[in-house]
Amino acid sequence: MKTTPLAWKNLTADWRRLALGVAGVAFAALLMFMQNGFRNALLDSPVQILRLLRCDLIAVSVARYSLPTDQVFPKTLFERSVTDADVVAATPLYFERPLAQLRVEGFPRRPIRVVGIPKQPGWFNDQTIESEIKKLSSTGTALLDRQSRLAYGFQWPRAGAEMDQAMQLAEQPLDVVGLINIGADFVNDGTLVVSHDSFAHFFPDRGAGRPLATIDLGLYRIRNNANPNAVADRLSKLDPLRWMVMTRQQLIDREIAFWNRQTPIGTIFFVGSMMGFAVGVIICYQILFNSIHDSLPEYATLKAMGYGNRFFVLLVVKQSLYLAILGFLPALATSWLSFQVINWAAGLPMLFTPSRIALVFGMTVVMCLVSGLMTVRRLLNADPASLF
Amino acid sequence: MQTPLALKNLADRPLRTIVSATGIGFAIVLMFLQLGFMGAVGDTAVKVFDRLDGELIIRSPEYLQIFDPRSVPSSLVPMILSVAEVADVRTIDLGLTNWRNPFNGELRPVALMGIDPERPSLNIDGIESLRKRLRQAQHVLVDSASRADYGPADGSSFGIDDIGTKLEITGQTVVITGTFVMGTGLAANAAVLTSHGGFNRLSPERLSPLVDQDRVSMIVIKLSGGVDPVTAEAAIKERLARLDGRSSSFKVMSMQEAIDHERWHWYVRTPIGIIFGAGVLIGVIVGGVICYMILAGDVIARLPEYATLKAIGYPNSYLMKVILGQAAWLAGLAFPPAILVSIALYTLTSVYSGVEIRMSFPRLILVAVLSMAMCGTAGWLALRKMTKAEPANLF
């Protein structure tokens, strides 16, 4: 025999109350999504550039505690490492910010991150960057990050058109030949990508007059069947006092951990998420409490007829789960929209990943269950006779 | 006497009232928290400016933020001193660099400040005796508000035990000769004060060919007693305009203007500011939704009673008064415990994140007004449906 889906019927009996409940849970979930999204946006922003790189291993100076600092390692060391049997391809990456003063006609000079890359394509995961690299053939040309902040004074051209503002980088004329997407972060308000030759041309004083002799990041691709950790260890041992080689993911994790520790965002957004959770528990409790309160006579009848505690616990648990699911779906849609808007307005990477969605869904379910179990106590303690 | 229906409604089911007040209290705490975080961002902006000893400043047109101020030539100092309204001119250097923990060798970012020990431009406690400890370029004073992972001798904060410690800043050896109390908010987790000579030695830009070596970050101007700052500002601008083209581009502004500009920068131009601003907005919206849910739930539960009142001739305005009264009582009930919880959460967050968050009187007023407005709007929305309805339909 099919049993009556009482939990579902209870929940949908009064649509106004259901709508309020769903809206409440959705708001709590949205709040958690936003807090979590903000936290991740801040922590994702400094590693956007690393995520764009197509490589297995990355070498950095041991003193480089965070990407935007200027600790470098000598090119001679890098050249020694390239001969390793497991290394298939390698290239140096150069970064400059203090010397990279960009002046857009009519605006004050501001520092911008300049990344020196090889002219050969194949080192980026991003299709646009890969196809625009060929435009960097002549010295003095650059690709500009479309997500650079407004303060520089860039006037973005319409699709297909070229940037026509006069610009100077380190007091030399700069020709922007293409637009790409990387993203700003805590330190960098914008990014220019240039070839190694242009990098040396713009910053001749870097590295005491030998601009390419000191390297910021060394990128490696290794043989398919090689063990990345083993190769990284071997390369690190070439000069453990000067540099360290790690997988791209390890460097990303290390950078995120640095910003998490360096800034108070970890703590602050944890408190924020907990607030969302608490708000959700209260809202859910309100809804379930009212729903049970109003049907107490019905429950009393069921109890008097002999239904056991198990039945009532299951009933409330089911009701809270339905509420969690019904509330989560609109929250997901609204958050997705809000993420797009913030991404567009603030240039921050608001990313949705399955694990982040699962985290908020898990918290929503727990939130509803906690409030469900808080209400069920009241029901179980009741004496059938006194309920009428 | 009229029956105080709003109060009686609340007193009728005390448990429910407590739950409702808790809900509204949470909404209030949420607003306090987000505003507190936002306030911490704003405080960052004024930490240094509040301590600058003067009424006006001169800075570069390329100024970015307090710890990335670019520079102005020190040759401007005697020229400004010759302006009649000016009593004294002082200088300050500001920048960010790296600090090597003397115990474990790890590098950390640090805020670096440079003053002229003979004419200190910073108003910090004990500056009169501290400035004497900056005789040599390698002498530095450390902010005792710096975080523990910078390597203080006692493992928690820099103090008397650290005097004499040698360590590396920007790869150069320095000696700690004292400590001071300041804090830099979100800009960095530690700060160091040295002389101009020390700053030039430690500045990360010391090798940049674009930077003029005879430079300071900002010029701080003290006016003679009784001089109107606006007049003085105009006089200084005029003096600069008479110099060559580049000098006339330097910005002269009052301390307040500089603070406002800096706050704006931190709120609008930094990712942290933007996100906390959005947080405040979300706090208010979520708070409003919670209040609406609570009051709407109450209206639905009492529909028959309200319908009866309506049927016996009470006007909508009376019902509105009851609901708004209820909303106001709930907000009033929720407010005091919410303040206590918020202060506790501020303290907790301050301890764990190392960024000071304080309760302020204007914030109390702002949240009180916001929560009243929130509850009022929610009450009005909750009742609107009912006032349109026919009494007969309401049962």
Q: What DSSP letter does each residue of B40-94 carry, written as one string? A: HHHHHHHHHHTTBSSSEEEE-TT--BTTB---EETTHHHHHHTSTTEEEEEEEEE
Burial of B91 (0-12, 13-18, 19+ CB in 10 A): buried
How high is the mean pLDDT of chain A? 87
Q: Do the Cβ atoms of A275 and B348 come within 8 Å? A: no
Backbone angles phi, psi at A219, to 5 degrees: -105, 140
Q: Tell me the residues of chain B between 104 and 133 that have a Cβ less than 8 Å away from chain A.
A: 106-109
Tell me the per-residue pLDDT of A173-195, one tens digit each, with 9 for 90 and over.
999 999 999 988 888 889 999 99
ipTM: 0.70
Which chain B positions have a beta carbon within 8 Å of A240's beta carbon?
A: none
Q: How far is B286 from chain A (nearest CA, A)?
A: 7
How high is the mean pLDDT of chain B? 85
**pLDDT of B370 strictly over 90:** no
Tell me the per-residue pLDDT of A263-276, one tens digit each, with 9 for 90 and over.
777 777 777 778 77
pLDDT, residue B390, reads: 64
Which chain B positions have a beta carbon within 8 Å of A207's beta carbon?
A: none
Q: CA-to-CA distance for B267 and B276, rounded, in angstroms?
A: 8
Q: How far is B238 from chain A (nearest CA, A)?
A: 22
**pLDDT of B278 strictly over 60:** yes
pLDDT band for A40, please (50, 70, 90 cuts): confident
pLDDT, residue B306, reads: 80
Give the residue from chain B lying closest to A21, CA to CA.
B293
Which chain B positions have a beta carbon within 8 Å of A65's beta carbon?
A: 98, 106-108
Tell me the per-residue pLDDT of A65-77, one tens digit each, with 9 for 90 and over.
889 888 899 999 9
Q: Do the Cβ atoms of A108 and B62 come within 8 Å? A: yes
Q: Do the Cβ atoms of B278 and A111 come within 8 Å? A: no
pLDDT, residue B388, reads: 66
Tell me the per-residue pLDDT of B176-191, one tens digit each, with 9 for 90 and over.
999 999 887 777 889 9
pLDDT band for B153, please (50, 70, 90 cuts): very high
Q: Do the Cβ atoms of A31 and B282 come within 8 Å? A: yes
Tell me the per-residue pLDDT of B312-341, one tens digit each, with 9 for 90 and over.
888 888 888 888 888 888 888 889 999 999
* pTM for the structure as a whole: 0.77
CB-based contact (8 Å) between B210 and chain A?
yes
**pLDDT of B1 strictly over 60:** no
Q: Tell me the residues of chain A between 230 and 269 that have a Cβ less than 8 Å away from chain B.
A: 261-268
End-to-end CA gap in chain B: 29
- Looking at A122-126, A201-205, B2-6, which range is the least confident one? B2-6
Q: Do the Cβ atoms of A290 and B275 come within 8 Å? A: no
Which chain A positions have a beta carbon within 8 Å of B289's beta carbon?
A: 23-24, 27
Strand ranges inside chain B, DSSP E: 56-59, 72-73, 86-100, 107-115, 139-143, 166-169, 172-180, 191-195, 215-216, 218-223, 251-254
CB-based contact (8 Å) between A139 and chain B?
no
Q: Tell me the residues of chain A between 172 and 231 that have a Cβ less than 8 Å away from chain B.
A: 184-186, 205
Q: Do the Cβ atoms of A42 and B271 come within 8 Å? A: yes
For range B100-127, the mean pLDDT? 91
Of B209, B271, B301, the CB nearest to A205: B209
Which chain A positions have a beta carbon within 8 Å of B296's beta carbon?
A: 20
CB-based contact (8 Å) between A42 and chain B?
yes
CB-hemisphere CA count at 13 Å for B243? 16
Q: CA-to-CA distance for A141 and A179, rounded, in angstroms?
A: 12
